[in-house]
Amino acid sequence: MTSLKMSQEDTNHFNECHEAFALREKALDTFTDWASTVFRDAVVSKIALDYVKDGNTGRKRLEALGVGSGSGEIDIMFLEQMVKKYSNIYFTSLELSSENTALFKSKVSRGTIENVTWDWKQLSWDNYRFYNVKSREPKLFHFICTVHSLIYIRDVDQAVMNMYESLDDGGVLLMIVASEESGSYKLRTKFPQLYIEDGLSHVSSAEVRKILKTHGIPHQILSQPSRVDITTVFQKGRKEGSQLVDHLSKRVNFLKTASPRMVNEFISYLKSPQCSEREQQSYLLVNDWDAFIVTK
Ligand SMILES: C[S@@+](CC[C@H](N)C(=O)[O-])C[C@H]1O[C@@H](n2cnc3c(N)ncnc32)[C@H](O)[C@@H]1O
């Protein structure tokens, strides 16, 4: 079996597998609804601050930060809601992938969001934080969001605490992570040997809840159900099924390269009620996520 850290060919393969999963996941539809309903009430309305002064113009502005923005669709949805309330937003995006940042920029250039100044930084959270705290005037934020990106950060405990410290009084930190009840998280727990080399952290709502509790940080958790149709995984010879398995196992061509015993155990567990629900002839992977809302 081959793990995720590898050649360009394998990287391309995983991008295709991720696309196949994303098509079935319909995550953007879910987020479109979530941003215009839950986010508006549970996040935007909670930001309680006096606008800070913008040194250049004398106008007041809201400082917002996206950590691991990807190609920006979801951060843009959040900002579309925020501009309804705030007329001057400075949005800093941290994203490691230059391809993703290029996509983000092109979406913004085609879009209609006004009153946002965009600042794209190709930096990891740790590096950004390091430079920010060392600067003469460390920046504090009124809104920080990190959507399905904490899993990419090695020391999640420290990252959560540093994000909290980076909030200004009255600011809101929004962290979205896979639910501990989600099938993809349970697969990682059940088959840890598959994921050792993929470089991702073992993070779900359980770990984030524990971190916040340990540090005595009050928070609200909003749970969002999500189901992904993975029926083709259980139909022999289906290309999409094989791609979905590779995406979930983080292994190239898992069905052909893993031992028959491992394939059998993995597929059986994926099909079981631990991970999936049955709906008539279909199997739906439980893919719920939780939003942690921390106000300061
Ligand atoms: C799963 S994607 C989520 C993208 C976006 N937030 C979304 O939900 O569509 C995670 C993103 O975090 C970025 N990333 C990985 N490690 C990072 C780090 N240490 N700091 C900031 N971003 C990181 C990756 O390049 C990737 O685009």
DSSP code at position 232 = G
The rounded mean pLDDT for the chain is 93
Tell me what pLDDT residue 247 has. Answer: 96
Note whether residue 215 is domain-resident. Answer: yes
Cα 46 from Cα 170, distance rounded (Å): 8
Q: Is 76 in the pocket of ligand 1 (CB under 6 A)?
A: no
Contacting residues for 219 by C-beta, under 8 A, at least 6 apart: 212, 292, 293, 294
Cα 45 from Cα 43, distance rounded (Å): 6
The rounded Å distance from CA 63 to ligand 1 centre is 20
Give the E-state strand segments of 76-181 in sequence order.
89-94, 116-121, 141-147, 167-178
Produce one character per residue of 103-125: b if its CB has 16 or more CB atoms within 10 Å, e if not. Answer: bbeeebeeeeeeebebebbebbb
Note whether residue 68 is domain-resident. Answer: yes
Note whether residue 192 is domain-resident. Answer: no
Tell me what pLDDT residue 239 has. Answer: 97
Q: Give the number of C-alpha atoms closer than 13 A to the C-alpha of residue 181, restricted to the C-beta side.
A: 11
Pocket test residue of 95, 107, 290 for ligand 1, highest count of atoms within 8 A of CB:
95
For the chain, what is the domain count? 1
pLDDT, one tens digit per residue, over 152-181 is 999 999 999 999 999 999 999 999 999 999
Tell me what pLDDT residue 11 has. Answer: 87
Note whether residue 260 is domain-resident. Answer: no
pLDDT, one tens digit per residue, over 49-82 is 665 545 555 557 899 999 999 999 999 999 999 9
Note whether residue 91 is domain-resident. Answer: yes
pLDDT, one tens digit per residue, over 23-39 is 999 999 999 999 999 99
Q: What is the CATH number of the domain that holds 78?
A: 3.40.50.150
Note whether residue 270 is domain-resident. Answer: no
Note whether residue 172 is domain-resident. Answer: yes
Cα 152 from Cα 159, distance rounded (Å): 11
For residue 151, what are the domain limits? 8-180+198-228+288-295
End-to-end CA distance of the chain: 46
Which range (13-27, 53-67, 128-142, 191-205) has the least confidence? Answer: 53-67
230 with 285: CB under 8 angstroms? Answer: yes
Query: Collapsing DSSP states into helix, strand and coil, what is residue 200?
Result: coil
Query: Does residue 1 have a pLDDT over 80?
Result: no
Cα 93 from Cα 145, distance rounded (Å): 10
Note whether residue 23 is domain-resident. Answer: yes
The rounded Å distance from CA 176 to ligand 1 centre is 12
